[in-house]
Amino acid sequence: MLLGDFAIKKGTVINYNPKAIFYDPDIFEDPEVFRPERWEHEHPSISTNELMSLGFSGGPRGCLGKYLALL
């Protein structure tokens, strides 16, 4: 399987760092500043739902408190 220019072999474990995404100044202006209003509108390149899901993970081992937290 190819992901961009990278070949990924079957069975390879892939991980991501949500903090690196949330603190990326290319995605969020002033990432160190607490501004909840930044979530009121969709980011042009990444949907809010995609970003919110990163912190909760997904699948059968996803965060048990996700829906409680979203309430």
Averaged pLDDT in 10-residue chunks for the chain of 71 residues: 84 83 82 81 57 67 82 82
CA distance 71 to 59: 20
What residues contact 14, with CB distance under 8 A and at least 6 apart?
8
Q: What pLDDT is stored for residue 67 in this prediction? A: 82
2: tokens are 């190819």
Whether residue 41 contacts residue 32, with contact meaning beta carbons closer than 8 Å, is answered with no
CA distance 28 to 68: 26
Rg (CA), the chain: 15
Q: What pLDDT is stored for residue 43 in this prediction? A: 56
Q: What pLDDT is stored for residue 62 in this prediction? A: 78
Full-model pTM: 0.43
CA distance 5 to 3: 6
Q: What pLDDT is stored for residue 53 in this prediction? A: 56
